[in-house]
Chain A
């Protein structure tokens, strides 16, 4: 992939010529980091409350969580149910196992 950021970081500017974080005082940078960390931590801490969302959304999340499915898995061999699905299809279609 192309990387067009390196040149800008070397100059200390972001794409729109405003100062990059590296040029700000250390205290300010650390404060931004702490704030971002706090936001992420807060989101994670509050995440279980997604299961209280109305309209059936919360219940759906609970059902998925209790099923143990890794919803974020993005390739089939990370998902156990894909192999179960293959067995299911083979069995129902009586495909030869030799």
Chain B
């Protein structure tokens, strides 16, 4: 990173060697630390390996049953269950770390339940659940007997009798539902006492030491860092506790918002002492979290729902993003380009995750990121209710409705909740569309960073008296490399590496070892890093500084207009793709409904 010096009120830049950057800048330390986490995770997963050698047998059973019957039989279901239980995160050291990074639990009326439940209360819950378990076991046995009888009848007819097949399918569906209810009842009847406080303390210490490695080389005051970090971690844990209140969780008020709010409260009441500012390394936490996030961007999943899914996500979304940005710059005239791109990304890509990536790539102010996320959460809460209502009242086809929700509602959890209010197919299609859209974040972040480097802030490459760089071959590529935010490369690199890894193995192996192993580990740490980042953001903002970006209500107008355009365009394209051009895919998705 360049160092600034003043010489007769003219700012000059002295370039720092790439080697020095690699050892002293937060961009590079975000990559090194995330890389260290990945290496440890890979080592752990391969050392304490789950029984993946059994997976082909289960898969073969499932394929055979599906080929014979054309629907999920009892044997299929049991093999599927065994297959899904093979997860690297349940084995050895991987399981230990996975448990250690556990977040505070959900609670209804008593917040203490999020971190502690004594043996007495656990015993009371077990006793309370015992009758429910007994009833569930009876129901399960009955449903199984009926499913077996129906399946035997269908099998006797070689699965060629549609009426017998339909009966078997229905009976097995009931049995699967009974299994699910039995599993839930069994969990309740096996309620164990827990105390997360010691593990949270250990986790906080581990994360503090983890970041202190980079902080030391970056020249941060370590005494102040060690003094302030426990407070920031405690606030992050508190944000999780609040967010896990059952009703607040249902409304979509995530830990990100509470982390911001807690930081803002302290910053705007008692004030923030210097040691807390030193510990609140926002960019460092966010960039490390983003590199971890990159690993979950798996390009192989883009084609999951076929061309219509790609159109709704990878064609509509960039159109809306560019149009909204242009609208904000030229029509509404939002004064800050960074605020514009952050709000636009947040609104049309995938909410908080896209906002973070765009804000970091464009070097937006913290208040701008805060504003974008705050607006998004308010509108998401409205859309969770409004869009399913429109879909249900107008009788929209579930697949069309699901694609519409997935392409427009900002956060993934909210998409799933909204889809749930329509039906199973809508929920699953919505979730898949949103997941494919999440994959765009890597491309968006790279594009924003490159655009800012070349077009928005090209004068940063200037020495005194020089012209801004033009995009010519000679020297320009070096300048772009020099100026480009390096953590984005770590973000993209993680995505490419894990996409290749996922594509090189069978989906089952990939799920067991990568998704439910390495990435599950990275996911947990990522959540904590972002919680720390948003507490730090809150601590650094005076509420009066939020007034400036809000001036004239332009961000709000931008969001509303952009989201309105997004809703209409996605509605039309989803209809065109799923209901007209690729109706066969829609029919496939609805088969068995």
Query: Measuring CB to CB, which residues of chain A are less than 8 angstroms from any residue of chain B?
Result: 1-6, 8-9, 14-16, 18, 20-22, 29-30, 32-33, 36-37, 40, 44, 47-48, 50-51, 56-57, 60-65, 67, 69-79, 81-86, 88-90, 92-95, 97-98
Contact = CB atoms under 8 A, between A and B. Distances in A.
B545 A29 contact: no
B265 A88 contact: no
A15 B543 CA distance: 9
B245 A72 contact: no
B542 A69 contact: no
Contacts of B254: 72-74
Contacts of B353: 74-75
A5 B370 CA distance: 14
A97 to B, nearest CB: 5
Contact of A85 (B269, B429, B515): B429
Please indicate which of the listed interface residues B252, B277, B363, B431 has the most CB atoms of chain A within 10 Å of its own CB.
B431
A92 B585 CA distance: 9
Which 3 A-B residue pairings sit nearest by Cβ, starting from the closest?
A72-B254, A73-B413, A85-B431
B384 interface: yes
B113 to A, nearest CB: 13
B545 A5 contact: yes
A16 B111 CA distance: 38
Given A85-B435, A98-B507, A20 B301 contact: no
Main secondary structure of the interface of B (DSSP, over half): helix
Nearest to B265: A36
B345 interface: no
B163 to A, nearest CB: 22
Contact of B420 (A21, A22, A63): A63
Given A48-B109, A65-B249, A60 B385 contact: yes
B420 A69 contact: yes
A79 B59 CA distance: 24
Contact of B359 (A1, A14, A89): A1
Given A1-B282, A50-B247, A77-B519, 17 more contacts: A2-B364, A2-B366, A3-B366, A32-B270, A61-B247, A64-B250, A64-B420, A65-B247, A65-B250, A69-B413, A74-B256, A75-B293, A85-B432, A88-B432, A88-B589, A92-B591, A97-B59
Interface residues of B, number: 96
Contact of A47 (B247, B364, B411): B247
B332 interface: no
Interface string B495-516: 0000000000011100100010
Interface string B424-451: 1101111110110010000000000000
A70 B103 CA distance: 13
B521 to A, nearest CB: 11
A36 B268 CA distance: 10
A88 B434 CA distance: 15
A67 B106 CA distance: 13
Contacts of B50: none
B427 A47 contact: no
B296 A75 contact: yes
B246 interface: yes
Please indicate which of the listed interface residues A37, A67, A89, A92 has the most CB atoms of chain B within 10 Å of its own CB.
A89
Contacts of B523: 77-78
B434 A98 contact: no
A44 B256 CA distance: 16
A95 B523 CA distance: 27
Contact of B270 (A30, A72, A79, A84): A30
Interface string B353-365: 1000001100111
Contacts of A67: 417, 420
Contacts of A8: 542, 545
B340 interface: no
B395 interface: no
B67 to A, nearest CB: 10
Nearest to A30: B270
Contact of A44 (B59, B242, B257, B434): B242
Given A61-B251, A72-B253, A2 B429 contact: no
Contact of B255 (A16, A36, A72): A72
Interface of B: 59, 63, 108-109, 111, 242-243, 245-257, 261, 265-272, 277, 282-283, 286, 293, 296, 301, 304-306, 338, 350-353, 359-360, 363-366, 369, 384-385, 389, 410-414, 416-417, 420-421, 424-425, 427-432, 434-435, 438, 506-508, 511, 515, 519-520, 523, 527, 540-542, 544-545, 547-548, 585, 588-592
B442 to A, nearest CB: 13
Please indicate which of the listed interface residues B250, B268, B270, B429 has the most CB atoms of chain A within 10 Å of its own CB.
B250
Contacts of B428: 81, 84-85, 88-89
Given A14-B544, A48-B247, A76 B431 contact: yes
Contacts of A92: 588-592
B542 A14 contact: yes
Contacts of A65: 246-247, 249-250
B265 A1 contact: no
A71 B261 contact: no
B366 A5 contact: yes
A71 to B, nearest CB: 4
Contact of A33 (B59, B266, B293): B266
A78 B59 contact: no
A86 B300 CA distance: 12
A76 B435 CA distance: 6
Contacts of A72: 243, 248-249, 252-257, 411, 413-414
Please indicate which of the listed interface residues A21, A40, A76, A93 has the most CB atoms of chain B within 10 Å of its own CB.
A76
Contacts of B366: 1-3, 5
Nearest to B373: A74
A67 B425 CA distance: 16
A36 B363 CA distance: 31
